[in-house]
């Protein structure tokens, strides 16, 4: 039960906002100390107390379509290997050989087993250590004790969630609606690195107050400035960005109004993932903090369109180019905020009532960090002999 409005209600709220020249308003402004964007201590707390303890969307299920499909990447600084087993279950492991620590896989692919390229220790898809070359050189080695070190992985609503540290946080996955279906297939994944704090990049997705100023020639001609439906579910949010052609729906009875190609939904899946719907694709955007001022952005593109991919090629490319132009503008303002941190001009950033989803994001971060036990200074990940 997510409590999100159905599409018809969202359309009606948007049409009412157009008529009344209004937008959704949060109850209050949010003031976030600028210190929280520049403090290494705070960054460490975000990594250790939130990103590693929270059930975090790791990849779409469609990225692991078959038995043996794997995906290896860092999540909150930890190399993680997620793999679909012969039993169809997705498992995730700390991506390091139990001999001398070589990573077992990089990128994505499909394997029957993971063979370490250093000395050939071999692990099954369920992480069990199956084979050690010249095993007589390791007297007393108990192979049952040297399987890959698992982290919690849950597959739900077409997403794979990974939780690295035990935390007792409950309900996070249940709060998330169905976003991907078995019919969704992966078109590809792109990666970029930006010199910007991960929270500043996140904030750029979560409001439509900047549409006219930042996206004057790109999004503004087809979208509205500062006209959104903003909803919360659990620690997450959904922001609807309507396209101007949504007004055509006025001619239809409410039960026939579909949001398809009439708006973009941006789902913020706390803490660091966005899912955004477009006419031809649905994007899952993962923001991986690399340092306090550096973020890797991974974008998985999926589609559930039944038409042949080559038939969609041209319109999809047009829509991608268009989106890219807007994204470049978003990256530029985010970078500018990052550089502006050094000015010393602000002690707080003030997020207005239009920017309520950002306030919700910070409120959730604060709650998890402030309610947690003392921040551990060092990465507490050495474990299990
Ligand atoms: S480090 Fe993997 S087999 Fe030696
Ligand atoms: Fe933007």
- C-alpha 40/C-alpha 16 separation (Å) is 45
* Segment 61-78 mean pLDDT: 97
Work out the percent of the chain whose per-residue pLDDT is above 70.
96
| C-alpha 333 – ligand 2 centre gap (Å) | 9
pTM for the full predicted model:
0.94
Going by alpha carbons, the residue nearest to atom 1 of ligand 1 is: 100
Query: Could you tell me which of 206, 205, 194 has the C-alpha nearest to residue 295?
Result: 194
Q: pLDDT band at residue 290, thresholds of 50, 70 and 90?
A: very high
Q: Is the pLDDT of residue 312 over 90?
A: no
**For 177-188, what is each residue's pLDDT tens digit?**
989 988 899 999
Q: What pLDDT does residue 318 have?
A: 84
With bands split at pLDDT 50, 70 and 90, how would you rate the model's confidence at 357? Answer: very high
For residue 233, pLDDT over 50 is answered with yes
What confidence tens digit (pLDDT) does each residue in 100-158 have?
Answer: 999 999 999 999 999 999 999 999 999 999 999 999 999 999 999 999 999 999 999 89
CA angle, residues 164, 166, 169, in degrees to nearest 5 = 105
Q: Which of 102, 134, 135 for a ligand 1 pocket mutation test, highest count of atoms within 8 Å of Cβ?
A: 102
Q: According to the model, what pLDDT value does residue 169 have?
A: 86
pLDDT band at 197 (very low <50, low <70, confident <90, very high): very high
Q: Mean pLDDT across the chain, nearest whole number?
A: 93
Rounded to an integer, what distance in angstroms lies between the CA atom of residue 82 and that of residue 188?
17
Which residue has better confidence, 344 or 385? 344
- Dihedral of the CA atoms 205, 10, 279, 255 (nearest 10)? 170
Instruction: Using pLDDT thresholds of 50, 70 and 90, give the confidence band for residue 258.
Output: very high
Tokens encoding 331:
């990256």
* Cβ burial, residue 80 (10 Å; 0-12/13-18/19+): buried
Q: Pick the range with the lowest mean pLDDT from 92-106, 157-171, 291-305, 343-357.
A: 157-171
Angstrom distances, CA of residue 43 to CA of 124, 239, 289, 359, 379: 36, 26, 9, 18, 12
> Which pLDDT score is estimated for 1?
54
Once rounded to an integer, what is the mean pLDDT over residues 317-336?
Answer: 92
Residue 15 has pLDDT above 90, yes or no: yes
Averaged pLDDT for residues 145-172: 93
What residues have CB less than 8 Å from 327, skipping those under 6 apart? none
Residue 93 has a pLDDT of 98
How sure is the predictor about 306, in pLDDT bands with cuts at 50, 70 and 90? Answer: confident
Q: How far is the CA of 329 from the centre of ligand 2 (A)?
A: 7
pLDDT at 381: 46
Pick from 341, 236, 203, 240: nearest CA to 10: 240
Higher-confidence position of 373 and 73:
73
Contact indicator for 240, 229 with CB cutoff of 8 Å: yes
Measured in Å, residue 261 CA sits from the centre of ligand 1 at 51
- Residue 349's beta-bridge partner residues? 32
The pLDDT assigned to 171 comes to 84
Looking from the CA of residue 98, the nearest atom of ligand 1 is 2
Distances (CA, A) of 50 to 30, 264, 296, 349: 20, 28, 17, 21
Alpha helices per DSSP H over 59-191: none
> What's the confidence (pLDDT) of residue 376?
47
pLDDT for residue 43 is more than 90: yes
Half-sphere exposure of 318 (CA within 13 A, CB side): 5
Question: Under a CB-based contact definition with an 8 Å cutoff, are residues 2 and 265 in contact?
Answer: no
CB 148 within 8 A of CB 38: no
Q: Which residues line ligand 1 (CB under 6 A)?
A: 97, 99-100, 102, 116, 118-121
> Do the beta carbons of residue 274 and residue 295 sit within 8 Å?
no
Neighbours of 96 (CB within 10 A): 17
**Burial of 50 per CB tally in 10 Å (0-12, 13-18, 19+):** buried
Do residues 203 and 180 lie in contact, with contact meaning Cβ atoms separated by under 8 Å? no
pLDDT at residue 384 in the model: 42
């Amino acid at each position: 039960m997510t409590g999100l409005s159905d599409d018809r209600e969202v359309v009606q709220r948007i049409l009412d906002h157009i008529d009344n020249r209004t937008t959704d308003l949060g109850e209050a402004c949010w003031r976030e100390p600028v210190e929280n964007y520049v403090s290494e201590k705070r960054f460490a707390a975000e990594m250790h107390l939130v990103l590693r303890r929270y059930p975090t969307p790791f990849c779409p299920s469609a990225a692991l379509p078959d038995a043996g499909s794997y995906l290896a990447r860092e999540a909150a600084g930890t190399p993680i290997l997620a793999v679909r087993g012969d039993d169809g279950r997705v498992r995730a492991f700390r991506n390091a050989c139990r001999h001398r620590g070589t990573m077992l896989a990089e990128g994505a692919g499909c394997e029957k087993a993971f063979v370490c390229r250093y000395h050939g220790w071999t692990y099954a898809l369920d992480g069990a250590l199956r084979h050690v070359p010249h095993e007589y050189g390791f007297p007393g080695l108990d192979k049952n004790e040297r399987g890959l070190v698992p982290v919690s992985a849950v597959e739900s609503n077409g997403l794979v969630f990974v939780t690295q540290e035990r935390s007792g946080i409950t309900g996070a996955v249940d709060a998330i609606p169905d976003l991907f279906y078995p019919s969704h297939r992966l078109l590809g994944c792109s990666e970029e690195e930006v010199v910007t704090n991960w929270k500043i990049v996140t904030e750029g997705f979560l409001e439509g107050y900047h549409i006219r100023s930042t996206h004057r020639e790109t999004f503004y001609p087809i979208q509205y400035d500062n006209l959104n439906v903003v909803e919360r579910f659990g620690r997450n949010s959904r922001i609807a960005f309507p396209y101007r052609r949504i007004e055509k729906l006025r001619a239809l009875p409410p039960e026939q109004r579909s949001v398809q190609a009439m708006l973009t939904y941006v789902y913020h899946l706390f803490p660091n993932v966005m899912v955004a719907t477009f006419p031809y694709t649905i994007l899952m955007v993962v923001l991986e903090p690399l340092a306090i001022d550096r973020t890797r952005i991974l974008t998985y593109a999926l589609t559930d369109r039944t038409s042949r991919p080559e038939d969609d090629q041209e319109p999809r490319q047009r829509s991608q180019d268009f989106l890219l132009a807007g994204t470049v503008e978003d990256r530029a303002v985010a970078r500018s905020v990052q550089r502006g941190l050094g000015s010393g001009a602000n002690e707080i950033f003030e997020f207005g009532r239009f920017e309520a989803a950002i306030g919700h994001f910070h409120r959730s971060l604060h709650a998890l960090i402030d309610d947690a036990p003392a921040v551990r200074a060092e990465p507490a990940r050495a474990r299990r002999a």
